[in-house]
Structure 1
Amino acid sequence: MVYLGMIFFKIVMPILLLLALGAILQKKFKFNLKALSQLITYCFMPAAVFSNLYATTIELSVLGQVAFFIVLFIGSQMILSHFIARALHLRKTEAAVFKNSVVLINSGNYGIPVAQMIFATQPIGVAIQVILVIFQNMTTYTYGLYNLISSTKSGLTIVKDFLKMPIIHALLIGVLMNYFDVTLPPFIQIPVEHVADGFVAVALITLGAQLSQLEIKSMFNKTVFISCFTRLIVGPSIALGVILLLGLDGVVAQSLLIASAFPTSRNSSSLALEYDVESATAAQTVLFSTIVSCLTVTVVIYLAELLFA
């Protein structure tokens, strides 16, 4: 109960308050949600990803362990979500959103604060979460973006649309500038950091505005339930198997197991809104998984400390 209270009030409650703020503002002012989504996709997201990749310093040994885990874990999630979507006989657009909801994890504004709270005296735990954010960003704007584009388009159009995304350019530039230790001049770095700092708030307020147009009862449907069960219960179970298979232990194992239990990424909803692909279902899944995760993440934290003390 102590863990549940800490996680809820320090992590989940701030997220829910921003969602509520977005819902209230949308009811009063009727924002253009498409325009807000474009602002996030073409401005806030690229700045956030660039800042993350540009500023992060990671030890190669830890990066190797985490990378191996991520390849196996995310790969298994991709395969599992594909077959579940087929078993549910989902339409192509529904399948795209379903697969993203399982594979894309909220490692940023949810994961990092959780890691900071749990591993306050063990910096490696937070460092691992930062690595996961980078990999999740890459997965979101490769696999996740491809899923949505390919559900409505095909062939060369997919490649062209993909390469036009500023997030891809930001990702590549951030990695290269980090690797070659290129220093940004202050007149560029300061505004980029300001925009990046605003990403979480704007994204969650926009999501809240989108959710305000939904009926609560619409959240309770089979696809959303199965998606959340797969993300919050099956996901950590698979992660535990991968951790044991790789022989990981200690803080590394704890951090990876806990990270596997986080809810569906808000970016899955933002991208669905941007490309107008089952955006209501995507938003419902993010909301439902975020609410339920305050219970499931607590259990996973307990198990991680019990198994890998």
Structure 2
Amino acid sequence: MVYLGMVFFQVVAPILIMLGIGAALQLKFQFNLKALSNLITYCLMPAAVFVNIYETKVNASVMGEIVLYLLIFSICLMILGTVVSKLLKLNRNQAAIYKNSIVLINSGNYGIPVSQMLFAANPLGTSIQIIIVIFQNIITYTYGLYNLISSTKSGLDIIRDLLRLPLVHALIIGAVMNIWNIGIPMSLRIPLDYLANAFISIALITLGAQLAQLDIKTIFNKVILTSTIGRLVLGPMLAFGLIMLMNFDGVVAQSLFIASAFPTSRNSSTLALEYDIEPNLAAQIVLFSTVVSCITVTIVIYLSKVLWG
């Protein structure tokens, strides 16, 4: 019960409050959601990705094994999402949203606070979560984007669209500048920080505005329910098997197991809105998985303590 309260009040409740603010503002002012989506995708998100990649320092000794684990874990989730979407006989747009909802994890504004809360006495736990955030950024803006674009386009059009996105450039430039330790003038760094800091709040308010337009009766459909089960139940089960197979132990095992249980990333909804591919379905999945994760993440945290504490 202690973990349940901590996870809810320190992680889930702040997210829900931001969603509520967005919903209330939308009902009163009727925002142009497409304009907000463009602001996020072409300005705030690239800045946040750049700063995140540029600032991250990770422990090289654990990097290789963790990246290998994350690759295997993500590929297994991709296969799971593809198989289940075919079994459910989803159309191309729904399948794209479904696959993203399984693979793309809220490892940033959900995962980092949980990690800092649980591993305050051991910085390794937070370092591992930062590695996961970087990996998830890469997966989101490669596999996640490809899923959405390929549902409406094919071939060279997909490559052109990906290369035009400023967040792809931000990812590459941030990584190069990090590796080569290139400094940034304060006249550029200050506005970059302003934009990066605005990303989470604007993204959550926009998601809340989307949710304000939904018919809540549709939330319990097969896509949302199976997606939530896949993300919050099958994800941790798969992670447990891989952790045992790869012989992880202690804080490393705990961190990876807990990270596997986080809900669907808000970015899956942001990108769906930008490309107008089932944005309502994507928003409902994010909301439902976030609320349910209050219980499932608590259980996973407890099990991680029992297994590797």
**Residue range with higher mean Cα deviation, 214-223 or 244-253:** 214-223
AA of the residue aligned to 1:125: G
Separation in 2 of the partners of 1:120 and 1:153? 46
Structure 2 equivalent of residue 261 of structure 1: 261
1:93-131 residue CA offsets vs partner (Å, 9 max, x unmatched): 110000000000000000000000000101000011011
Structure 2 equivalent of residue 43 of structure 1: 43
Structure 2 equivalent of residue 160 of structure 1: 160
How far the C-alpha of 1:64 sits from its partner, in A, is: 1.0
| TM alignment of 1:108-187, pairs within 5 A | 108-187=108-187
Separation in 1 of the partners of 2:86 and 2:102? 14
How far the C-alpha of 1:172 sits from its partner, in A, is: 0.1
Query: Does the alignment pair 1:290 with 2:286?
Result: no
Structure 2 equivalent of residue 230 of structure 1: 230
- Asked if the contact 2:253/2:308 (under 8 Å) is kept, the reply is yes
Name the SS for the 1:109 alignment partner: coil
1:197-239 residue CA offsets vs partner (Å, 9 max, x unmatched): 1111000000000000002111111110000000000000000
Separation in 1 of the partners of 2:58 and 2:120? 18
| TM alignment of 1:203-282, pairs within 5 A | 203-282=203-282
Structure 2 equivalent of residue 78 of structure 1: 78
1:174-207 residue CA offsets vs partner (Å, 9 max, x unmatched): 0000000000000001110111011110000000
How far the C-alpha of 1:286 sits from its partner, in A, is: 0.2
Separation in 1 of the partners of 2:53 and 2:210? 29
- Asked if the contact 2:50/2:174 (under 8 Å) is kept, the reply is yes
- Asked if the contact 2:59/2:127 (under 8 Å) is kept, the reply is no
How far the C-alpha of 1:132 sits from its partner, in A, is: 0.4
Separation in 2 of the partners of 1:37 and 1:248? 40
Structure 1 equivalent of residue 55 of structure 2: 55
Separation in 1 of the partners of 2:266 and 2:115? 18
> What is the total number of aligned residue pairs between the two structures?
309
Separation in 2 of the partners of 1:58 and 1:129? 10
- Which 4+ runs in 1 deviate beyond 2 A? none
1:8-45 residue CA offsets vs partner (Å, 9 max, x unmatched): 00100000000000000000000000000010001111
Separation in 1 of the partners of 2:134 and 2:277? 25
Separation in 2 of the partners of 1:57 and 1:281? 36
Gaps of 5+ in 2: none
How far the C-alpha of 1:2 sits from its partner, in A, is: 1.1
Structure 1 equivalent of residue 34 of structure 2: 34
Separation in 2 of the partners of 1:91 and 1:97? 10
- Give the TM-score of the pair, scaled to structure 2: 0.99
Gaps of 5+ in 1: none
How far the C-alpha of 1:155 sits from its partner, in A, is: 1.3
Query: Once superposed, what is the RMSD of the aligned Cα atoms?
Result: 0.5
AA of the residue aligned to 1:46: P
Q: Could you tell me the percent identity over the aligned residues? A: 60
Structure 2 equivalent of residue 65 of structure 1: 65
How far the C-alpha of 1:306 sits from its partner, in A, is: 0.6
AA of the residue aligned to 2:147: N
